[in-house]
Amino acid sequence: MIYLAAIGLVIIFGLMDVFNLAQGAFFGLGAYLFVTFYYMTNNFLLSLLLTFLIGIVLGLLTERAIIRPVYGNPLAQLLLTMGLMTLLYTFMQLIWPTGLVFPETQNFLLSGYIQLADVRIRIYKFVLIAIGFVLFGTMSTLLSKTMIGIKLRAGTENRELATVFGVDISMLFTSAFTFGVALALLGGALVAPLTHATIELPVHFSLLAFAIPVVGGMKSYSGAFYASLLIGFVDRLVAYFIPQLGFAIDLIVMIVVLVVKPEGLFKR
């Protein structure tokens, strides 16, 4: 589900040239909110929906109050989103100081296991893989086959020309940032049944969220998906065999890509 955090970064940076350092914190907040809602409702889909709706509200408020006044000022954007990231981390530690554990359920898809040889594998991992492919297909269709996607790509490629042809860039900016933040919260919500909600979650996924656009290409929507598969595979493989390098391997891959192909492996 790091794809959801990463694609939000790609949309926000690709269209708006805003590098949102708080994206990983939004991802972690999504996990906390989802588990909280699940305890309140005992309904998986409703908890997802509530988390996504809060993501829309937070994205809209953040764009209007924090990002919009500093368009065209990269240093101010970095400082403000870094401050927002710190604020969100502090908020999560104050509200949920011990973290939240997603409860065991009677739902086979959420809590069931299958046995492959001598290995027990959580069914929900396959559910996440399926959701990831569905979301990739949905995003690809949205960005390539719909008018919203066409306007979004037009604004990404040439903002001035898109304005000439009647694209409302201001509304597009707001929609893109809001959607990117909502996707990050949704990603955190979807991964919470596996990882639970802990303060380490946003820290780890912040690094992954930034590594993926670098590896896949900062303005490549499909590259974010393929890079998510690559980074996810390498991250889990190294964490299993050499756990001491689990946190550093993402940085190593990112540095190698920056040296060998700075524009990204999957940049068109």
pLDDT digits (tens, 9 = 90+) for 33-61: 999 999 999 999 999 999 999 999 999 99
Q: Are 55 and 45 in contact (CB under 8 A)?
A: no
For residue 178, is pLDDT > 90? yes
Residue 47's pLDDT is 96
Reported as a pLDDT band with limits 50, 70 and 90, residue 227 is confident
Residue 143's pLDDT is 76
Top pLDDT among 17 and 112 is at: 112
Encode 171-190: b = buried (16+ Cβ within 10 Å), e = exposed: ebbbbbbbbbbbbbbbbbbb
For residue 106, is pLDDT > 90? no
Closest to 34 in 3D by CA, of 221, 151, 201, 171: 201
For residue 167, is pLDDT > 70? yes
Model confidence pLDDT, tens digit, residues 137-155 = 888 888 778 887 777 777 7
Residue 190's pLDDT is 93
Model confidence pLDDT, tens digit, residues 86-101 = 999 999 999 999 899 9
For residue 268, is pLDDT > 70? no
What is the pTM assigned to this prediction?
Answer: 0.89
Reported as a pLDDT band with limits 50, 70 and 90, residue 188 is very high
Cα separation, 191 vs 196, whole angstroms: 8
Top pLDDT among 247 and 242 is at: 242
Token match 């492919």: residue? 133
Alpha helices by DSSP H, the chain: 2-16, 23-41, 44-62, 74-95, 108-111, 123-145, 147-157, 159-164, 169-195, 200-216, 221-241, 249-260
Reported as a pLDDT band with limits 50, 70 and 90, residue 217 is confident
Domain boundaries in the chain? Answer: 2-199
Averaged pLDDT, 231-252? 80
Query: What's the CA angle centered on 77, arms 71 and 81, to 5 degrees?
Result: 135
Reported as a pLDDT band with limits 50, 70 and 90, residue 204 is confident
Averaged pLDDT, 111-122? 84
Token match 């530690």: residue? 93
For residue 63, is pLDDT > 80? yes
Residue 15's pLDDT is 65
Cα separation, 197 vs 264, whole angstroms: 31
Cα separation, 161 vs 225, whole angstroms: 28
